[in-house]
Structure 1
């Protein structure tokens, strides 16, 4: 039933989230059934056919893992996402090849409270949605296999049932006030593990090097999983360099196999260094020999030196490195948090291709796959626990925070990419409890800070946006949202300098703003005239609301891609001339779902990403690329802007984002000259032209040069000179069909049949017939309720080889239909 793939994988010990190195591991992806509700009891999950009317509800559905309870309803415009119990069940054929071995279920992450059953026996439970944990099912399976039920009803298979629960709970972190969904389900990989009776629980490999790279040190400790109490073993260890060459080896006799045991410590002259440009890793191979058998495993380590200079920049291996960062939430179109390994790989590679060398993982411990990719791609990491918003709860609450910090550090200790352990986010945000006591929050923050340093003295601690705790942690990031929640983007440098002066070590994570993909503007900075400038650029209570309060771009701006590219362009220009700056991280890389933003142009979406929720690039992606990458690139702004507008004879700006030294522009085949790139010549580093578009179709082409290499880009669009009035009608058409999927587009026109290019009416798509709308994706072109972009909106329909009728409803306008 299950295809067994042998590979070495890190695991965790029952309910304590300790890591364990397996010898056989199989991802349990297929043959699962799912129920999005609670059961009356575990018996309902396993009762045999013919007992208690099995034809009655509940009805289970077939799913594959990883699976998120909220894969679609997280962005359903008509309902709040489900928060409650859900069940998964399967039947396993178990065949442990090790005579005295153990059988373990290893969860890479499940949310938010999880219980595990073998037949009707509860074998384990875990609280927390983001750290890894395991359940040893060996004994429960052995007992069940003695029963007649195992032989007759289940035909030699073992029933496993798992209950997950993301019900709102004030005594859990993260808070439901957080600006992201607290998902439910088995949304990371679940592994079936066969291991020896003595196995490595944790292998702590600490690689260090001085700033000059002259002397490296490796210290190795081990913690064992030893349920049978074996007393004696031998450890064989080897260190292999990035080229596959043996560097050194060691052999040690072990006894009293409890606690953390020192295995190996040695010095290495001039190790090959891990860096963001060359992320070279050594391999620590080990073998533990005991009466239980030979347990083999390996760890990757990297030698690098990190230093956040007090009142200064960040140094990697003794040289300044400007941290060019972004953020990641575990969220994706169509699957919620249940991203597969190929999805994660694509996302992380796109970040690296954009020029990212730093990432803050918001706001929780993330998948081992992510951390492994950061190691191999050369992306430095700030990883944090989900103490996010709401205040501070009681002892149960605090214990979860302590446990999750311990687990995060121990489980990800060996990753060279990690430089910061984050202790909290926006802890100045009250709301979950009647009491909001700053001193109690400070006291607990100090406790977490001390715990982090005790567990790992080699890395820094940090928090974001809690000024009254800024002196506790090693590195602090204040709230600076120049040009979005407060002020204009031209306030950015002054606001940053003021905040830098207040703390010992400064970094700026979270900046940017929302953009409704496919919406563009001829005058994107218009709303800045209403904005008070020169003051603080922090985000305050209510600033994220689209109603009331002071004038701010987040409320009064047009949410166009045109505006956000200007904002990003200005920030990146300034960051190049801030020699004291350690670095920044744009918030976030990808649009993500959030329950607290129902009124956004795509409901329930935070739209601040530089790519959409399905990884479709917005224009902003190329602005970053033009500043942060070396491979020659050139991108004309406006690939998703089909109609521009203005007067006849009016010159309109065309911007090119490129890292090339010079570029030449062509309009309708005619050259309008070359320009040199200058990062301080805003906007678009001087690569901008005012061109006389002709009415109707236009073609713009750029040829850019970097050394001997040449790159080109081209766009086509319509230039509309007719003026429009208020929208009076909708026109709906099929504009494309690929295989069994059709794309339909609705446009808004005035009473003179002129396209209304600034229309932002709410559009509601509907469908009846054989097909199905491809909606609930959380994207501008994958939502049945969406604000129009430049007087239009599109959606795709899966036709199912039949006939369907698509409808569009928009308040105040006549509903229209089209048959597919």
Structure 2
């Protein structure tokens, strides 16, 4: 893993040097933003009257990437903002090429975008997740001839961009989708200078036989040549993973329009790309015309993959169990506007958890994500956002076709990609008055054919649309054993039945919600209420917390304790399913959604193994214990400060580890050694029945690797034997303070001052004074309205070096106050 990280960071360094040399820069600073619309483009650029206080409308300073919904997407008291927003800046342009082209390269902006140079509209784009480029050369040249350029703007070029995420039924994805349809320039925007003729796209098809002996590379390209230059010189170099040139080709050719096949070459025994050794070659294409040179680089990998018919998945001729998860582009405090550093941290956390496969749900994602997957060795299923709602008209369908084409063309060269996803939950109606399965089938067939035409080398897939399962190459049904339907011990049997219904089965989306910090002494209690033998698929209404048949999603306690049991069982079973291609847990990180206002953290899907701000839940370590090789050990309960029960009662202590043996110590006394056995459920046999003492208990585990090396984990837990009655009062207290940031905690007691450890009341924090609540983060400790976890809830306050009074309230319980200085 250390080697992978080193190679990856070296690759990033080389990439940044290449981008700099190629006159490409990110436009990050010196932006202004206005939420809402303008009466017209003139309102964005009209000069303010000298000496006038009138500055309406009010713009705010922001940096890119930026999302309209950074905070309001998880505001518990209002719907998230959907509408227009404007951005403006002024560009200092210095194109180094004679008669070169000046481009704006959008890595993604939501959801409809208009681009203006001064008062001239130069482009429009519909689709919030694909990349697109605007040639602003002619508009800039025209503006430079105006008096405004010379006098008012002092040699700078005004750029205005209108984004709009207003609800629109004739646009994908549907607003019924279980995620926010964000607005804004929420991915990087690049200023790019290129010569008269430059590379637009390079398509490098790298293939190798199953034995890894004979590799083939076919390269075709597309030029950006708006002025119709006649002849160009093309040179292509292929460099191996160490940077050594292993093949070259060059020729002077007639400039071409559209795609042109350029070169084919064979390689003997190429270094193979795999999840363990993600070796990448570089294809460098140099275009020379009229003395100007443009260099374009792509990373490629030689690998052979196969979904065996009614069998497992193979990579480079060997079975590989796909150990996967999912990713939404969403993060605390910024929503979709994740920086490159944030994205890198997230992908590295996935890899450190043992992930070798990821489904990018439910839309094409940033090139940064795909580059990381290539470098880290994570296989990818990437899909377009045809998600829920049914099927719209021709405008709707044309967007789907366009986004599929863009996704495949833009991410064609990534060795990590093995599947193009065509849709998700397309059996989910309600956006239109017509829901016609045959029309959906017809359009799905069209997309399937288009995908194979654009890229015959990869598979197509969908999730949860049984009446289309025969159309695509790989199908994932809905199996939520132990959450939406059934109990988790039905997982293997249900999966086997679904596996036998299709040629190529892959199970994506399983798991369940957990409220971070909530733990239970009897987590599986709700399973006794659930009907078994009726399948494990999610059906209409199952995600609701009200009504319908008994199910863990409604009747369970949403504790981390239950989810680790569910995950533990699934992973244990997957080790003994030789026919299984693999699975992907839904999702890696909690994310915001407009359709779940009643969840413990309002407007959050809480199924992640980490919170929305990267804090790990206990379930992260369960995956590590099954999927990783670097020695690890983790006592369950790091976020469980107080356990409860009777005096002298035995309690289970679970340890998750990939080591062969572990010894547990409680208050300095050994509880004995245990051997790890993945089939000894729960915790692979690393569990002890322990009698806690009243008050503090120190718990330590010492695990041993096969080589005899010891690794240690320790926690301290209180043990409460006092029984509580009806909750009666809230107490608010300061936990810590650093650099004017105070952490406060609310705890719920009965009338005898006994902590109510199973309390799940909603509480609402408030603040008056000079400070501000750090809320609307979408986390269990960053939400002003939140369900208690074991009778407590935490939030932070920025005092701003002043005085404030914090409050907390719950229905039927007196408000509690806390002065803060």
- What TM-score comes out, normalization by structure 1 length? 0.97
Deviation at 1:7, TM superposition (A): 8.6
| Preserved CA contact (<8 Å) 1:470 1:476 | yes
- Which sections of structure 1, spanning at least 5 residues, go unmatched? 12-19
Correspondence 1:215-364 to 2 at 5 A = 215-291=214-290, 293-364=292-363
Deviation at 1:8, TM superposition (A): 6.6
In structure 2, the residue matched to 1:131 is: 130
| Cα 1:21/1:113, change in 2 over 3 Å | farther
| Preserved CA contact (<8 Å) 2:207 2:216 | yes
For the pair 1:548 / 2:547, whether they are aligned, the reply is yes
Q: Write the deviation string for residues 153-191 of structure 1: whole angstroms up to 9, x where unpaired.
A: 111111100000000000000000000000000000001
| Preserved CA contact (<8 Å) 1:238 1:248 | yes
In structure 2, the residue matched to 1:804 is: 804
User: What CA distance in whole angstroms lies between the structure 2 residues aligned with 1:54 and 1:147?
Assistant: 28
User: What CA distance in whole angstroms lies between the structure 2 residues aligned with 1:209 and 1:234?
Assistant: 29
User: What CA distance in whole angstroms lies between the structure 1 residues aligned with 2:712 and 2:16?
Assistant: 44
| Preserved CA contact (<8 Å) 2:232 2:255 | no
Q: Write the deviation string for residues 268-291 of structure 1: whole angstroms up to 9, x where unpaired.
A: 000000000000001112211111
Deviation at 1:234, TM superposition (A): 1.4
Q: Write the deviation string for residues 101-137 of structure 1: whole angstroms up to 9, x where unpaired.
A: 0111110000000000011000111000000001111
**Runs of at least 4 residues off by over 4 Å:** 5-11, 51-54
Q: Write the deviation string for residues 376-421 of structure 1: whole angstroms up to 9, x where unpaired.
A: 0000000000000000000000000000000000000000000000
| Preserved CA contact (<8 Å) 1:475 1:505 | yes
Q: Write the deviation string for residues 295-339 of structure 1: whole angstroms up to 9, x where unpaired.
A: 112111100001000100000000000000000000000000000
In structure 2, the residue matched to 1:388 is: 387
| Preserved CA contact (<8 Å) 1:288 1:294 | yes
User: What CA distance in whole angstroms lies between the structure 1 residues aligned with 2:576 and 2:803?
Assistant: 59
Name the SS for the 2:275 alignment partner: coil
For the pair 1:781 / 2:781, whether they are aligned, the reply is yes
Correspondence 1:23-38 to 2 at 5 A = 23-38=22-37
Deviation at 1:97, TM superposition (A): 0.8
Q: Write the deviation string for residues 529-569 of structure 1: whole angstroms up to 9, x where unpaired.
A: 10011221000000000000000000000000000000000
| Preserved CA contact (<8 Å) 1:8 1:23 | no
Query: Which is further off, 480-489 or 148-157?
Result: 148-157
In structure 2, the residue matched to 1:757 is: 757
In structure 2, the residue matched to 1:206 is: 205
| Preserved CA contact (<8 Å) 1:651 1:693 | yes
Deviation at 1:253, TM superposition (A): 2.1
| Preserved CA contact (<8 Å) 2:735 2:743 | yes
For the pair 1:500 / 2:524, whether they are aligned, the reply is no
Deviation at 1:54, TM superposition (A): 6.8
Deviation at 1:256, TM superposition (A): 3.9
| Cα 1:631/1:111, change in 2 over 3 Å | same
For the pair 1:558 / 2:557, whether they are aligned, the reply is yes
In structure 2, the residue matched to 1:16 is: none
Correspondence 1:137-176 to 2 at 5 A = 137-176=136-175
Name the SS for the 2:355 alignment partner: coil
| Preserved CA contact (<8 Å) 1:591 1:608 | yes
User: What CA distance in whole angstroms lies between the structure 1 residues aligned with 2:685 and 2:534?
Assistant: 29
User: What CA distance in whole angstroms lies between the structure 1 residues aligned with 2:252 and 2:205?
Assistant: 21
Name the SS for the 1:815 alignment partner: strand
Name the SS for the 2:32 alignment partner: strand
User: What CA distance in whole angstroms lies between the structure 2 residues aligned with 1:10 and 1:764?
Assistant: 49
Q: Write the deviation string for residues 185-207 of structure 1: whole angstroms up to 9, x where unpaired.
A: 00000011111110000001111
In structure 1, the residue matched to 2:716 is: 716
| Cα 1:225/1:54, change in 2 over 3 Å | farther
| Cα 1:600/1:6, change in 2 over 3 Å | closer
Q: Write the deviation string for residues 70-111 of structure 1: whole angstroms up to 9, x where unpaired.
A: 000000000000000000000111111111101111100000
| Preserved CA contact (<8 Å) 2:666 2:700 | yes
Name the SS for the 1:447 alignment partner: helix
For the pair 1:639 / 2:638, whether they are aligned, the reply is yes
Query: Which is further off, 555-564 or 132-141?
Result: 132-141
| Preserved CA contact (<8 Å) 2:519 2:559 | yes
| Cα 1:292/1:444, change in 2 over 3 Å | farther
Q: Write the deviation string for residues 209-240 of structure 1: whole angstroms up to 9, x where unpaired.
A: 00000000001101000011012111111111
| Preserved CA contact (<8 Å) 2:418 2:458 | yes
In structure 1, the residue matched to 2:743 is: 743
| Preserved CA contact (<8 Å) 1:732 1:746 | yes
Cα RMSD of the aligned pairs, angstroms, is: 1.5
User: What CA distance in whole angstroms lies between the structure 2 residues aligned with 1:122 and 1:670?
Assistant: 75
| Preserved CA contact (<8 Å) 1:727 1:748 | yes
- Which sections of structure 2, spanning at least 5 residues, go unmatched? 1-11
User: What CA distance in whole angstroms lies between the structure 1 residues aligned with 2:272 and 2:523?
Assistant: 45
Deviation at 1:49, TM superposition (A): 1.8
User: What CA distance in whole angstroms lies between the structure 1 residues aligned with 2:131 and 2:28?
Assistant: 17
User: What CA distance in whole angstroms lies between the structure 1 residues aligned with 2:346 and 2:15?
Assistant: 24
User: What CA distance in whole angstroms lies between the structure 2 residues aligned with 1:118 and 1:251?
Assistant: 39
| Preserved CA contact (<8 Å) 1:6 1:26 | no
In structure 2, the residue matched to 1:525 is: 524
| Cα 1:50/1:449, change in 2 over 3 Å | same
In structure 2, the residue matched to 1:694 is: 693
Name the SS for the 2:401 alignment partner: helix
In structure 1, the residue matched to 2:9 is: none
Q: Write the deviation string for residues 18-48 of structure 1: whole angstroms up to 9, x where unpaired.
A: xx99921110000000000000000000001
Deviation at 1:56, TM superposition (A): 4.1
Deviation at 1:53, TM superposition (A): 6.3
User: What CA distance in whole angstroms lies between the structure 2 residues aligned with 1:237 and 1:149?
Assistant: 44
Name the SS for the 1:663 alignment partner: strand
| Preserved CA contact (<8 Å) 2:64 2:187 | yes
Q: How many residues align?
A: 808
In structure 1, the residue matched to 2:4 is: none
User: What CA distance in whole angstroms lies between the structure 1 residues aligned with 2:278 and 2:476?
Assistant: 26
Q: Write the deviation string for residues 583-609 of structure 1: whole angstroms up to 9, x where unpaired.
A: 000000000000000000000000000
Query: Which is further off, 781-790 or 95-104?
Result: 95-104
User: What CA distance in whole angstroms lies between the structure 1 residues aligned with 2:785 and 2:706?
Assistant: 48
In structure 2, the residue matched to 1:490 is: 489
User: What CA distance in whole angstroms lies between the structure 2 residues aligned with 1:258 and 1:388?
Assistant: 34
Name the SS for the 2:57 alignment partner: coil
For the pair 1:772 / 2:772, whether they are aligned, the reply is yes
In structure 1, the residue matched to 2:537 is: 538
User: What CA distance in whole angstroms lies between the structure 1 residues aligned with 2:398 and 2:261?
Assistant: 29
Q: Write the deviation string for residues 516-535 of structure 1: whole angstroms up to 9, x where unpaired.
A: 00000000001111001122
Correspondence 1:644-723 to 2 at 5 A = 644-708=643-707, 709-723=709-723
In structure 2, the residue matched to 1:17 is: none
Name the SS for the 2:169 alignment partner: coil
For the pair 1:601 / 2:596, whether they are aligned, the reply is no
Correspondence 1:369-384 to 2 at 5 A = 369-384=368-383
User: What CA distance in whole angstroms lies between the structure 2 residues aligned with 1:701 and 1:597?
Assistant: 39
- What TM-score comes out, normalization by structure 2 length? 0.97
User: What CA distance in whole angstroms lies between the structure 2 residues aligned with 1:259 and 1:541?
Assistant: 46
User: What CA distance in whole angstroms lies between the structure 1 residues aligned with 2:749 and 2:253?
Assistant: 80
| Preserved CA contact (<8 Å) 2:48 2:55 | no
Name the SS for the 2:160 alignment partner: strand
User: What CA distance in whole angstroms lies between the structure 1 residues aligned with 2:345 and 2:365?
Assistant: 16
User: What CA distance in whole angstroms lies between the structure 2 residues aligned with 1:271 and 1:288?
Assistant: 26
